Amino acid sequence: MICESCQKNTATVHLTEIVQKQKKELHLCEDCARDKGDSIVKGTFSVNEYLGNLADAAKKKAEKGGEKTRAKPAVEIGPCPACGLTFPDFKASGRLGCYNDYEHFKRELLPLLEKIHGATQHTGRVPSQVGTKMEKQKLLAILRKDLNQAIQREEYERAAELRDKIKNVEGP
């Protein structure tokens, strides 16, 4: 594709703007994009600000829902015991401090993840080394759930079969 400005070089910068459901595309070479600079970019985009705004929106939504159901007001979570990161710090930086933060800030992060990704469960591809382990864990969870249900219904023969399957899946 040729640059729409100079009509000489190959376009390597592709900008798309959507205004009132109308899509406008601009294809420029690197030099023309650099020359146009600020006139092309109407505003800056900050991931940190975006995450902070999403967190605030999720919190407000939860608080509104709480008013309708007369639930307890949201309690502010303290800093992570492992790294000391606070949720306002995360909102400002857009980065978590350690792997413990996922669990420590779970209540605040789940609405964010759902808003960004549309779900809170990973459904994409998994590395092959991890995939077999995850499949084994899922199967074990299902078998254990079935085992508990069989015991509750006093289906002891079925429970014994499930126990043996669990032992086989777990291995020696």
**Is a pLDDT exceeding 60 seen at residue 129?**
yes
15-44 burial code (b ≥16 CB/10 A, e <16): eeeeeeeeeeebbbbeebbeeeeeeeeeee
74 pLDDT exceeds 60?
no
pLDDT at 48: 61
pLDDT value at position 154?
Answer: 94
Least confident of 14-18, 88-92, 144-148: 14-18
- Of all residues in the chain, the percent with pLDDT exceeding 70 is 76
Q: Do 77 and 107 contact (CB within 8 A), yes or no?
A: yes
- The alpha carbon torsion through 105, 111, 117, 123 (nearest 10 deg) reads 70
Q: Rounded to whole angstroms, what are the CA distances from 61 to 57, 88, 112, 114? A: 6, 18, 11, 13
Region of poorest pLDDT, from 15-19, 63-67, 167-171: 63-67
Q: For the whole prediction, is pTM greater than 0.85?
A: no
> What pLDDT is recorded for position 159?
95
Mean of the per-residue pLDDT values of the chain: 80
Tokens representing residue 147 in the block: 């085992």
What average pLDDT does range 20-40 have in this prediction?
78
Best-predicted range by mean pLDDT (39-53, 54-68, 94-108, 138-152): 138-152
pLDDT for residue 168 is more than 80: yes
